A and B are shown apart, each in its own frame.
Chain A
């Protein structure tokens, strides 16, 4: 399915699948039971998330900052496997037919599962597409062939450091949307949106009509509003993963829902955000 952002700015929400936060009672949760992530994802969709990126936890998340590293470690400790994430995608698809669902992974778990087998399973789950963090267009021959064969979107990352020739290739091989990285760096929250982001989106638009989502470091309504001025959507990752970390499985869906609703409200309307910001500055 094409990815749609009916509201402006669109919201893409990243979740590390299988992370139940710091306060979950491990004894209560069966290995591979992703019910907590499912409830959070449903709440996020109902609160206005257009796309859910389901993060497959990996032992060596070299593009991620401490927040997502910790979430990945917790998810792996809870026994999360790729097939569980695929199952979760199918559950979300059944429950929310219109939501965008992207499987987000490092390459190695996919290679081990088998690229072709993965593409079949992902398509069958009803996911709309795939994003592989450590896959660049030059190496993507097999991957793109499998995505095309199974009708899945392939989302590539574009970076502020990518020269125009690379952006052109990225635009050519992307489908669904293009994920523009707001700054050089790893995932994680930040105070200010780098000026890099607007310039990058402008350069990307020379090569494509696909929607462009901006991510990395977007953590509040001001950032989202800023992104909305030049891009189609904002990706929220670490800010939500950190919120889940500090919540219990029972409270996380409500917290995430409230947070996402706040992201589209005018600046400063959310008292929780203000507290967060002053605590950090």
Chain B
């Protein structure tokens, strides 16, 4: 069954729309310092050439399969389904990929592209550290220099991933400006890129930023939905009723959604970080509290004050703690093709425990946002309905936060919630 999928991992790499303007509806575009424009044009052309090149695609296919572990399983969560008493719940197991999250799909694609472009110095930003670890891993694999920008707050809360990056040979640069989280890491990576643009490749970690990144990153993750579609047809003989994915910048979500955009009966639901409350500064739910604006090179929904100053955000998960969202999601939101909800920190922690104890699967705090929404809606759905959660990553990296938040200590098992 799997082999047909493996052979076509990158079958859908042809860049979809947008081709020239980099627009998704009115969103996207390029709002960058002029210094970067030549590099973005070079990247756009190199990506178009690479994605049409069978040799590039074959090498990426091979690495996705033999190095990263694609295709990932589509797992039927029977105990959780039984407990909730509603829709059949399937998990798309991106958490089983090498390095522990979907991020490796994109890091491999862009890493190969960087090598093809002759760039040996790689920079990246990271929030939860998963994109940083994926990039450091790919740089080790391809023998390239790797510098990862990471906010100080995220360094503190995702220490394990910092250690992994260093072990892999990457330099982790702490970012002390602003909220010291993902947004500030992106600013710092952009500053590095502007300065070293001639020999440096910026592996951006989500479907964000100036064109061509949102399209390219989406294309590299599109394999998630392509596999999922085929696996679901083989298993159930039909498409699912809904797909849930957490939305930070939006890469795992757009990867899971994209192959289903034409299937109007499949509901696509993105789950943002509800954080600790509804006030500006307490969450990262861009579609609830944001308005369209420009941040870090793209036009999309931005959490901001009435003067256009970007707001601070909060989430228990570093990977969703971000003030703007990928522009394709903004377009899907406005068109109504996808809907966006949020899950708050407390429900997310509950979801971590629930999935761990029901299925023996410890989800990343980011992915647990999608699980939390699943826990909420599955019981309201009929038993013949099918619900898929894109489980974007595993939660090992979060053990420090979980131990503190859930007060796990000593040898006692944590009681179920």
Contacts and interface: CB of A to CB of B under 8 A. Distances in A.
Contacts of A161: 34-39, 197-198
Contacts of A134: 31-33, 294, 297
A28 B191 CA distance: 35
B32 A136 contact: yes
A260 B122 CA distance: 40
B183 interface: yes
Interface string B4-36: 000000000000000000000000011111111
Interface in B24-61: 29-39
Contacts of B292: 111
Contacts of B34: 136, 156-159, 161-162, 166, 170, 181
A230 to B, nearest CB: 19
A112 B306 contact: yes
A104 interface: no
Interface stretch (A8-16, A42-50, A60-68): A60-68
A9 B296 CA distance: 34
A259 interface: no
Interface in A92-142: 106-113, 133-136, 138-139
Q: How large is the interface on A (under 10, 10 to 19, 20 to 34, 35 or more residues)?
A: 35 or more
Contacts of B236: none
A69 B177 contact: yes
A112 B37 CA distance: 24
A186 B184 CA distance: 15
A184 interface: yes
A2 interface: no
Contacts of A62: 33, 186-187, 190-191, 296
B69 interface: no
B309 interface: yes
A157 B38 contact: no
Given A62-B190, A112-B293, A186-B194, A82 B33 contact: no
Contacts of B195: 184-186
A58 B309 contact: yes
Interface residues of B, number: 38
A151 interface: no
A59 interface: yes
Contacts of B130: none
A159 B39 CA distance: 12
B307 interface: yes
B187 A60 contact: yes
Nearest to A105: B308
State the 9 A-B residue pairs at the shortest beta-carbon distance, nearest first.
A112-B308, A109-B308, A159-B35, A185-B195, A161-B38, A59-B309, A157-B34, A159-B34, A108-B308
Given A106-B294, A113-B307, A157-B35, 12 more contacts: A60-B184, A62-B33, A62-B187, A81-B307, A108-B308, A110-B308, A134-B33, A136-B31, A157-B34, A162-B34, A184-B196, A184-B198
24 contacts: A58-B308, A60-B183, A60-B187, A62-B191, A63-B33, A63-B194, A81-B307, A82-B307, A112-B291, A112-B293, A112-B306, A112-B308, A134-B294, A136-B31, A139-B30, A157-B33, A159-B34, A160-B35, A170-B34, A181-B35, A184-B197, A184-B198, A185-B195, A186-B195
